[in-house]
Chain A
Amino acid sequence: MNRRKERIDRGVKARSADIFALTSYREMLYLMIPGAVPVVALLCFSPMLSDYWREVIISTAIYALLAMSWDMLMCAGLLSLGQSLFFGIGSYISGSLNYYAGLPPILTLPIATILGGLLCTVLLLPVLRLRGIYFAMVTLVVPLMLSRLVEATRILGGTEGLTGLTPFPNQLTALFIIQLALLATLFGFRRIMGSDYGLVVKGISDNDRSVMSAGLNIYWYKAQVLFLGASVGCFAGAFGTHMDMFAGMPGFALDYSIMPVAAAVVGGVGTFAGPLIGAFILVPLSEMLRALGSLRMVFYGLFLVVFVVGMPEGIFAYIQRKYQQMERWVDVS
């Protein structure tokens, strides 16, 4: 006697798939709750936490932004192992604008976002032709190169970095800025990828020859996606700089490259909400494991392995399935 798990869409899911969702509150709520509840919870409860945990939320959000930026690149088939490039460049741009020109964070953040996005796009433009692991290798190497460049030429403060930068007025302001950016990125990216433009982008990663023969310049689209991803990464870097009041070589550190990938893998690639959830699990977890001392990395790694093996689709896809489908065991003989 064999058993098989049968999955059936819930009635409310089937009904609310179209304009008919507007016919009842129940169905409208069904559609809105998954988005609205976490957003409201985040905005309402995060200010109530202690200073320490607010700090944790802020650094989690920085990683979450990098993870969503990674996911955006992944949508176009660009596997990046160098999110620290975006973080570092955003960090140095806002840092030097603040250090040398004395601009306040309210100006350096948007300038670093746009300018950093453009700069990273131009830097990676020559390698947009590469795919998969070849693109990944280049993105891995470029931030390391840049950090050695800063060290060797002693520009931008050299190994010391730029210190004493303007902080945010208070922690609560910072908290709300980063949460706003987080939500704007999440819903913005989801919206973009849900449109026809998003179909083209996904098409490039699935089957680029087919997109080429459809009369679209795939390098132009890849550059656009790269700009979107890079500017979000640069915003994270600029934000982190003002948070720490410091811009320096650690901005190009490997942490900023690896953690976003781990978060996206745990949460579910290609969904944007997945990497966000992944970051909100992994970063606080690593904080909580601090008590374990040296064993921290062991448990952390163990958790990652168990997760990736046990739930390869990612947390987000798992939750989504439970929310939308009924499951039951049926006998097949």
Chain B
Amino acid sequence: MTELTPLLRASNLTKKFGGVTAVSNVDFDLQEGQLLGVIGPNGSGKTTLVNLITGFVKPTAGRIEFRGKDITGWPPYKVVSEGISRTFQMVRPFYQLPAYKNLIVPLYSPRVKKLAGGKYGNRDAVALDLLEEVGFERDAHVSYKKAGALPQGYLKRLELAKSMALRPDLIILDELFSGLSLAEVASIVPIIEKLKHQGKTIIMIEHRLKELFRIADRVMVLNYGRKIAEGKAKDVMESPDVKEAYLGSEAE
């Protein structure tokens, strides 16, 4: 295998909401095991891009391929069973349930049942293990607390655990760091690095550039739905287009 087919390939991806073009002619390839950062100002179409890939929104035009298979316009549950999972920017857990019970829903999915070989044994135990992996201290019984009583940092970790529970090949993290303190971000970064070492492919939508640049292999910049730059973090930030769009005031 010299010429690898990319894990994910988007070509000419376009989405129009009425008269507004949220994503316009975006092309990109993502190789297995890479971490792609997607940055851009507010309203530049980053979340729409995630929704397009995961099937929450159907593209107006263009094509998405996962492992060479055309998944354009598939419903979300099918996309997940191919191996793509995502987190939401606005966390909305099941507030009345204990944190670990929140993971039962993804653990119930057909994909996990298939990978685990038929019926899953003890979902509660798997859920508790997963939560420990994302930093729920087992000794402190945080996993048993109601999700509604948890601070934002834990809710974001819970969101991450939910997407990890699906045993995905590609994880899309939609602004996982937003609303977190520096210390909390610093404690989540190693979890993402660990996922990367396990060979997972990751797309990160992020506003925290410093942390993102430390772990991203490549960065893609969107502005008004267009891709204006792609490449190594350093090169991208030096491109005049990006400076103007993203850091407008500094470039002046």
Contact = CB atoms under 8 A, between A and B. Distances in A.
Interface in B29-87: 54, 56, 75-77, 80-81, 85-86
Interface stretch (B6-14, B103-111, B220-228): B103-111
A215 interface: yes
Interface of A: 196-197, 199-200, 202-203, 206-207, 209-218
Interface in B87-125: 88, 92-97, 101, 104-112, 123
A277 to B, nearest CB: 22
A213 B108 contact: no
B105 A203 contact: yes
B110 A215 contact: yes
B171 to A, nearest CB: 12
A215 B81 contact: yes
Contacts of B75: 212, 217
A194 B21 CA distance: 45
B101 A199 contact: yes
Given A215-B111, A216-B110, 10 more contacts: A196-B123, A199-B104, A200-B105, A206-B94, A210-B88, A210-B93, A210-B94, A212-B76, A215-B77, A216-B109
Contacts of B123: 196
Contact of A212 (B77, B97, B107, B166): B77
Given A214-B162, A215-B166, A197 B88 contact: no
A215 B109 contact: yes
Closest 8 pairs (CB-CB, A-B): A215-B80, A215-B109, A214-B106, A212-B76, A217-B77, A203-B105, A214-B105, A199-B104
A207 B101 CA distance: 14
A211 B88 contact: no
A103 to B, nearest CB: 38
A209 B94 contact: no
Contacts of B86: 213
A210 B162 contact: yes
A25 B101 CA distance: 30
Residue from A196, A197, A200, A213 having most chain B Cβ neighbours under 10 A: A213
Given A196-B123, A215-B166, A207 B77 contact: no
Contact of B97 (A199, A213, A214): A199
Nearest to A218: B77
B85 A216 contact: no
Given A213-B86, A215-B110, A196 B104 contact: yes
Interface of B: 54, 56, 75-77, 80-81, 85-86, 88, 92-97, 101, 104-112, 123, 162-163, 165-166
A211 B109 CA distance: 9
Contact of A216 (B77, B95, B162): B77
B105 A216 contact: yes
A214 B109 contact: yes
14 contacts: A196-B123, A203-B105, A206-B95, A206-B96, A207-B94, A209-B88, A210-B93, A212-B77, A213-B85, A214-B106, A215-B85, A215-B110, A216-B108, A217-B75
A12 B105 CA distance: 31
Nearest to B159: A210
A199 B77 contact: no
B105 A210 contact: yes
Contact of A211 (B56, B105, B111): B105
A221 B109 CA distance: 12
B91 to A, nearest CB: 9
Given A202-B94, A207-B94, A217-B77, A212 B56 contact: yes
B108 A209 contact: no
Contacts of B111: 215
A207 B162 CA distance: 14
B88 A213 contact: yes
A209 B76 CA distance: 9
A106 to B, nearest CB: 35
Contacts of B80: 213-215
Nearest to B124: A196
Contacts of A216: 77, 105, 108-110
Given A209-B56, A214-B166, A216-B77, A196 B88 contact: no
Residue from B75, B93, B106 having most chain A Cβ neighbours under 10 A: B106
A207 B104 contact: no
Nearest to A210: B92
Contacts of B85: 213, 215
Contacts of B166: 214-215
Contacts of A203: 94, 105
Residue from B76, B80, B107 having most chain A Cβ neighbours under 10 A: B76
B94 A197 contact: no
Contact of A213 (B76, B110, B112): B76
Contacts of A209: 56, 88, 92
Given A210-B92, A212-B56, A213-B88, A199 B76 contact: no
A197 B92 contact: no
Contacts of A200: 104-105, 108
Nearest to B111: A215
Nearest to B101: A199
A266 B240 CA distance: 66
Given A196-B104, A213-B86, A207 B92 contact: yes
Contacts of B110: 215-216
